[in-house]
Structure 1
Amino acid sequence: MPHQAKLTQGSTLKHVVTMSFTSALGLMCMFLVDLVDMLFLSMLGEKEAVAAVGFAGTVMFFTISLSIAVSVAATALVAKAIGEGNVALAKRRAINVLAFGVLFSTAIVLILWPHIDELLSFIGATGRSLELASGYLRILILGMPAVMIGMIGSGIMRALGDARRAMYATLVGGIVNAILDPIFIFAFGMGVQGAALASLIARLSMVVVSYYGVVHIHKMLGKFVFFDFIKDIKPICKIALPAMLTSLSSPLANAIMMSHTATFGDDAVAAVAIIGRIIPVVFGGLFALSGAVGPILGQNYGARRFDRMHGAIYSAVIYAFVYCLILCFALYLMQDWLVCVFNATPRAADLIRFFATYVSFSFFFQSLLFIAIAVFNNLGKPFNSTLLNFGRATLGTWPLIFIFGFFMGAEGVLFGQAVGSVIFGCLGFYLARHYIADLEAKDAKSFSSDQSLGYEEIL
């Protein structure tokens, strides 16, 4: 299959919508795994089981964020090489990022495994909730290398502009999980551990699908050469490590939020856990923006098409606004149905309704931050993404949820986090827009200098 830089041609809005929509389906299916777990476990009538998945999900979000970060490196490096027309380099970078991801994810599992109970206790799990969360997490964390392979494979295919196949790995994982959940939870009577086992098998299915797309369809994995791997560790880490720190800021913000929410009781924790599972499914189209805009920026940066880079980020804003407008209105209308489906207690129901009514539209501003992260990760300044996201996770989370929580109770925790998203979303987009303008100015200056040198040589 020819490897053309097809994202350097055609409508940027069409590319943004196509890449975001397909990436969103994949991401939503991956997070739907956790939502399905919580939905079936809520049918057991044990609120500690729902809270347990919420606590364990906070840690799992951390591991998934690391996988997404490494996939960012795969997308950025492969997309830029394709934009430059260097297919051999793209294949080399693809195999080396994959090797890096497998080694790194295995090391993370080995590090986290002995400290699972301490991690869960740190974020507020106690008693029965701690026991259930620990059992759930000990099974599910074994699938981290599989998630890493699946995410990197999807990142490589997105870098090539194959948005449709990029979503297949996570899509199949979600379907497998939805089928196996009721079997393990109810038919085998395994409860929380059954949900974890079903999710683990679903994650393993991602490996098969992503391997088929990258290797058999696109033939994008080059031959592994140890010395090439050593050479590529530096460019991989230059993107992956700041992207990891950027990704870690989101679970850090969630951990801070969950820890503070725990002071309001198990009902509040259960509500936030339910909201935490609803958010990726409903707003997956926004979470996908960073991964969708990244390949478009990468290919056009390699081809020096700055006009299309500007067009891509403004197309992303239009897409995010329309998406948010529609989905927030739908969420507002569905709030009573969600309360009923998850068997929420009266106090938990109040928090779910508050989120759907007053907080949900803040995700438009968070999408501006996702766009900024895509700009910096793919255009050579990944550390800027780290600063922005950590700023949101710390200065934009803890002080605000503490202040608003003091005056508004558990509702203030949700509201405070929303205010932080508005502030840092606007700041991030402003900085990203000016960074692209600076790159364009430097490129024009460099081109002018090259032209002058060429003219002097002719004379």
Structure 2
Amino acid sequence: MDNKNVELMRGNPETAVKKLAIPIMISMLLTASYNIIDGIWITGLGQAAIAGIGFVTPIFMILNGVSVGLGSGATSSISRFVGAKNHKKASRSATHSLFIFLVASIILTIVLLVFQEPLLKLYGASGQSLSEGLKYGTPLFLGLFAFMFANGASGILRGEGDMKRAMYAVVVSVILNAVLDPIFIYVLGWGVAGAAIATIVSSICATIVILYWILIKKDTYVDVNLGNFKFNSSIARDILKVGIPASMDMFVMSIAMSLYLVFISSISGEFGIAAFTSGQRLYLFAIMPLTAIGSAVTAVVGSSFGAQNGDYISRSHKFGAKFGVIFGTCVTIILVVFATPLATIFAYTPETTHLVPEITRYLQIACLCLPLTGAGMASTFFYQGIGKGTISLGWTIVREVIFTVGATFLFGIYLGWGLLGIWIGLAVGRMLASILNYIYARYTIKGIRKTLGN
């Protein structure tokens, strides 16, 4: 039942991390372009529309985080069974993952539709920006099942090392979103709601393609048979012990972002929110390659852990961290050097050009954390690979809430440095936490190798 993807994960760990990371990287960059493309087209609707979508962003992060997190749970579980050469359990894990995605999408749809308006008001949205936020959020949350299955089912493919086909589905989805955005927003006159609907329709297409491969074509390593599905609590727990903490990662980050919005809103109102959310789109886009490297580390470490190979676990993490630092440095140089033209992408109208200097300053300061974040990201995902999702979550809390929120409050609010202090706090907090995360991961790996004797 082995295939070339499975054999790759069981082979040289450096080669596996590199080869698996590149298609994941392309997929994630393309996925992140949803937000970029939406931002470009929505700029033409004015500052209130930009701010309205910015207020929805923390909620969307929760939604996207749960889908990616549960996908990570599937990846970790399946890859560990692949490493242990247990095809039957890998297949059952994939089947249970689809069931979990369905249940989670139903629950989240209900919760987000009920609480989106109170949350937007809590973040500081009011008047026109609140109205625009609701217009964008409502269709987005109604169609969240599409994100859940697109990201989750991609996690199943990643678990068996099949990164390329997940990438192909995303390519089709992104192209479709780019075509539909201007049609729905301007031609049909749906405004910000049109951007959300375009994203949902595109995600549905990606979901259909991936589920076709898994359920109908059946040419994957895992063999998913929904007709013979019988719920097994131990399999579900194996997925959720990583999936729930990984989902909470994004929830924690959305809480942190909510606090950033509160700080920024108190400093400079709608102007600061618009500048931050525009720059944040580029930051989230830039961090995708680092997340992709981390996802590859999860799969390779999971396979190595299943095979009880401590040397491969160590090499996978170390190479992933090194790869992340190099990539993070390259991305940082691009963002700093080309900050002004990049900022102009999100402020090209006469009504929004005044945002360019502040977006530029955000990019040149806040993004300086990316090189060290690369090492920290590989370390966070390493814990998911060995099935320790709670430790991964713990480091996310340390990075985003304790260090970064603390630093933004210190520099931006307490010391009174305003928006400049917020941007400095974002960089300093993330850098310090990433250094500590890497050190602790190496300490953990040393203990694992001692236990395994290799």
- TM-score w.r.t. the length of structure 2 is 0.93
What are the residue-to-residue correspondences of 1:347-362 with 2, within 5 Å? 348-362=355-369
- Equivalents in 2 of 1:48, 1:201: separation in Å? 25
Partner of 1:408: 417
Aligned partners of 2:451 and 2:273: how far apart in 1? 50
Residue by residue over 1:113-156, the C-alpha shift from the partner in whole angstroms, topping out at 9 and shown as x without a partner, is: 11211011111111100001011100011222211111122111
Asked whether the 8 Å contact 2:10–2:303 carries over to 1, the reply is no
Contact 1:58/1:251 (8 A) holds in 2: yes
1:380-408 deviation per Cα after TM superposition (whole angstroms, max 9, x unaligned):
32211111111222211322111111332
> What is the one-letter code of the residue matched to 1:206?
A
Q: CA deviation at 1:201?
A: 0.5
Q: Is the 8 A contact 2:153 2:211 kept in 1?
A: yes
Bigger drift between 67-76 and 304-313 goes to 304-313
Aligned positions, number = 444
Pair 1:80–1:10, CA change in 2 (3 A): closer
Deviations 1:232-287 (A, max 9, x none): 22222222222222232121211111221112221111111111211222231012
Out of 268, 275, 282, the position equivalent to 1:278 is: 282
Q: Distance in 1 between matches of 2:329 and 2:372?
A: 12
Tell me the CA shift for residue 88 of structure 1: 1.1
Whether the aligned pair in 1 keeps the contact of 2:77 and 2:387 (CA below 8 Å) is no
- In the alignment, what sits opposite 2:34? 33
What is the rounded CA distance, in whole Å, between the counterparts of 1:356 and 1:133 in structure 2?
A: 24
Query: 1:322 deviation in Å?
Result: 1.9
The match for 1:453 is: none
1:254 and 1:125 mapped to 2: Cα distance?
14
In 1, distance between residues paired with 2:393 and 2:343?
36
Which residue, 332, 343, 361 being the options, matches 2:347?
A: 343
Task: Give secondary structure in 2 for the equivalent of 1:190.
Answer: coil
Corresponding residue number in structure 2 for 1:218: 220
CA distance in 2, matches of 1:9, 1:137: 42
Q: Could you list the runs of 4 or more consecutive aligned residues of structure 1 that deviate by over 6 angstroms after TM superposition?
A: none
Q: Distance in 2 between matches of 1:322 and 1:161?
A: 23
Q: Which moved more, 1:224-233 or 1:184-193?
A: 224-233
**Offset, 1:183:** 0.7
- Are 2:320 and 1:328 aligned? no
Equivalents in 2 of 1:390, 1:284: separation in Å?
Answer: 19
Q: TM-score, normalised by structure 1?
A: 0.92
Tell me the distance in 1 between the aligned counterparts of 2:292 and 2:184: 30
Amino acid at match of 2:96: N
Deviates more, 1:209-218 or 1:120-129: 209-218
Match of 1:150 in 2: 150
Secondary structure in 1 aligned to 2:225?
Answer: coil
- Aligned partner of 1:303: which letter? A
What is the CA distance between 1:170 and its match in structure 2?
2.6
Structure-2 residue corresponding to 1:183 = 183
Alignment match of 2:382 (pick from 375, 386, 395): 375
Partner of residue 314, structure 1: 318
Pairwise CA distance, 1:339: 2.8
What corresponds to 2:116 in structure 1?
A: 116
State yes or no: 1:441 paired with 2:443.
no
Deviation string 1:51-76 (CA, Å, 9 cap, x unpaired) is 11111122111100011110111001
Shift in Å at residue 346 of structure 1? 6.0
Q: How does 1:58-457 map to 2 (within 5 A)?
A: 58-215=58-215, 216=217, 217-218=219-220, 220-224=222-226, 225=228, 227-263=230-266, 264-343=268-347, 345=352, 348-406=355-413, 407-444=416-453
Deviating more after overlay: 348-357 vs 25-34: 348-357
State how far apart, in whole Å, the 2-side matches of 1:58 and 1:280 are. Answer: 12
- The 2-side partners of 1:392 and 1:320 are apart by 17
RMSD over aligned CA atoms reads 1.9
The one-letter amino acid of 2:316's match is A
CA distance in 2, matches of 1:401, 1:338: 24
Which residue identity lines up with residue 33 of structure 1 in the other structure?
Answer: Y
CA contact (8 A) 2:25 2:288 kept: yes
C-alpha offsets along residues 417-443 of structure 1, whole Å, 9 cap, x if unaligned? 221111111111111111122111112
Give me the whole-angstrom Cα distance separating, in 1, the residues matched to 2:407 and 2:200. 36
Shift of 1:171: 2.6
Cα deviation digits, residues 272-324 of structure 1 (max 9, x gap) = 11112112222310122221110000111112222122111121122112212
Identity %: 24
Separation in 1 of the partners of 2:229 and 2:89?
15
SS for the counterpart of 2:85 is: coil
Separation (CA, whole Å) in 2 of partners of 1:57 and 1:35: 12
Partner SS for 1:360: helix
Tell me which amino acid in the other structure corresponds to 2:299: P
Is the Cα contact below 8 Å between 1:91 and 1:222 reproduced in 2? yes
What SS does structure 1 have at the residue aligned with 2:161? Answer: coil
Q: For the residues of structure 1 that align with 2:77 and 2:255, how far apart are their CA atoms?
A: 27
Supply the distance in 1 between the matched residues of 2:238 and 2:18 (Cα, whole angstroms). Answer: 29
Q: Give the Å deviation of 1:338.
A: 2.0
Question: Structure 1: which 5+ residue stretches go unaligned?
Answer: 446-459
Counterpart amino acid of residue 253 in structure 1 = A
In 1, Cα distance between the equivalents of 2:222 and 2:375?
32
- Partner letter of residue 410 of structure 1? L
Gaps of 5+ in 2: none
State the Cα deviation string for residues 54-113 of structure 1 (Å, max 9, x = none): 111221111000111101110011001111111111011101011011111211111121
Query: CA 1:227 to 1:214, structure 2 compared with 1: closer, same or farther past 3 Å?
Result: closer
Task: Find the aligned partners of 1:332 and 1:231 in 2 and give their Cα distance.
Answer: 48
Conserved 8 A contact 2:329-2:370: no
Is 361-370 or 6-15 further displaced after alignment? 6-15
